[in-house]
Structure 1
């Protein structure tokens, strides 16, 4: 659900996301994006909102809002959460109106209803995880906070407020510097050699951002992401980065006469 809001932020249509865990176990995710479309979709003959919430691989693109960059889960996020929730309610503010639809274990309980007027836009999804599946589910505040922190580093200019009313804890993340701020955060307790180096480029429709900062230590800390998903096992993007930085450092060292042409590489 949060990834849907992140997609809106990556598209420049949202700058605030709020996640709240209530005492009864309900979770609400709210954003100030454009709001999920509610018009009848010609393929399903149902509301685009209902299609997003009940059909696998529908996602926001199903509503005609394809994203150039997506941090989502390939259209299975919202529909799976809905199917695994004993109760779920979606409220959409869009085109000056407020709309609502409720579900039980993924089954719509009513058609999308217009319930009032709205002066702003956005989507709020409130769900209760099915206890018959998950038992008494306790959300890990620290683990979720870490993930939300990463999301905000990867989505420059996004503010995310997270509150757990059960544990009486809350935190707000906002990083104007994006992943350059992430590099500073990782080095906050280490002597650094320079300010973060930040590189951003788009090649053949693929957007790449890199931030790096050397410190005085010998241990390496590397994080890599693809579409805002933490790729803990690396991948071709990380392999390519390592190869590129190795080549650049060795070539620069030779150009600056720090090593001779016939000497071994620095790294």
Structure 2
């Protein structure tokens, strides 16, 4: 082969993406893809920030709105509101920082959030990068501030509204970028189902969903948390339970553990697990530990009360046959596989 045909490969060919360019160049790394799952992941990223405020006792209400165009979503909470004062390093507002810089946020040192679903300081800025338009409205200290962005870049300065405003919180309204996503219409039922589960996992938090495409509005509020969730899952599965009272564990401390389980007449097991309110469909050490602990507890009970039939050995699978369980843990430093937190 002639060396004359070989292309040159020099330092000039090395590209360093800056700001939010990596997100727009490789969105799959941040939201899992640009299909339906990735599109809805934008909503989950903004939602988890609102939930983090509630999880740490700073908010009691979350409102999610699917607007009439079915392509625009607003997520609002009555938490503390994203800080708007200037950061000493960047000399820009903290609001602009968290929406335009990767790995910028208040959840790294554990001082403002004991536990959180948002961990990497990436979610909100990734949503901003992948949005045709994003509008952030913050209410703090009797003031209201607004800033607009497009494709991750500010298109207005931080604007302070005239007058005095009651309450505090953050509202993020965004429209996905059609140059990134082949389809930008959200599925209303997908959003509604996620919000209902959120209300189960964070008992006492009021979650409202307003679907402007149909005019429907629903509010979820579950004081019994995952116990109510367990009943809903069993009903949906159409399984008959073999005992009335659910077995529950609620343990508070540095880490919070919530378990609710029942055995049914079904032949399979069904476990739904969560870490800091994030669904862990692929399982994890929390789910493995639950299964191991449950098997040990049941075997100990059987042996202590001499309930083992002669010549019969129970396998872990036998013990879990027909089990339906909700496992929800809250820890300070969860280890997820990536930004999509599978």
**Same fold at TM > 0.5:** yes
Question: Larger deviation: 247-256 or 36-45?
Answer: 36-45
Q: Distance in 2 between matches of 1:167 and 1:45?
A: 44
Aligned twin of 2:191: 144
Higher fraction of strand: 1
C-alpha contact 2:52 2:115 (8 A) present in aligned 1:
yes
**What is the CA-CA distance between 1:136 and the residue it aligns to?**
4.3
Matches within 5 A, 1:113-128: 113-116=159-162, 117-128=164-175
2:292 to 236, 239, 243: 243
**What is the CA-CA distance between 1:103 and the residue it aligns to?**
0.9
Any idea what the Cα deviations from partners look like across 1:204-257, whole Å, max 9, x if unmatched? x33222111222333322101122221111111111100000000000111111
Residue 46, structure 1, aligned to residue 96, structure 2 = no
Gaps of 5+ in 2: 1-45, 320-342
- Cα distance 1:261–1:51, how it changes in 2: closer, same or farther (>3 A)? farther
Aligned twin of 1:195: 245
Residue 23, structure 1, aligned to residue 68, structure 2 = yes
- Cα distance 1:107–1:213, how it changes in 2: closer, same or farther (>3 A)? same
- Cα distance 1:64–1:47, how it changes in 2: closer, same or farther (>3 A)? farther
**What is the CA-CA distance between 1:22 and the residue it aligns to?**
1.3
**Secondary structure at 2:190 match in 1:** helix
1:222 to 263, 266, 271: 271
**Secondary structure at 1:156 match in 2:** coil
**What is the CA-CA distance between 1:261 and the residue it aligns to?**
9.7
Aligned length: 266
C-alpha contact 1:183 1:212 (8 A) present in aligned 2:
yes
Give the root-mean-square deviation of aligned CA atoms.
2.2
Q: Distance in 2 between matches of 1:227 and 1:7?
A: 9
2:227 to 174, 180, 184: 180
**What is the CA-CA distance between 1:36 and the residue it aligns to?**
0.7
Matches within 5 A, 1:90-105: 90-105=136-151
C-alpha contact 2:248 2:258 (8 A) present in aligned 1:
yes
Question: Larger deviation: 169-178 or 102-111?
Answer: 169-178
Any idea what the Cα deviations from partners look like across 1:126-150, whole Å, max 9, x if unmatched? 1111122224411112222221122
**Secondary structure at 1:89 match in 2:** strand
**Secondary structure at 1:132 match in 2:** coil
**What is the CA-CA distance between 1:259 and the residue it aligns to?**
1.7
Gaps of 5+ in 1: none
Mark the structure with the bigger radius of gyration: 2
- Cα distance 1:260–1:218, how it changes in 2: closer, same or farther (>3 A)? closer
Using structure 2 for the length normalisation, give the TM-score.
0.72
C-alpha contact 1:180 1:197 (8 A) present in aligned 2:
no
Aligned twin of 2:14: none
C-alpha contact 1:48 1:63 (8 A) present in aligned 2:
no
C-alpha contact 2:107 2:116 (8 A) present in aligned 1:
no
Residue 207, structure 1, aligned to residue 248, structure 2 = no
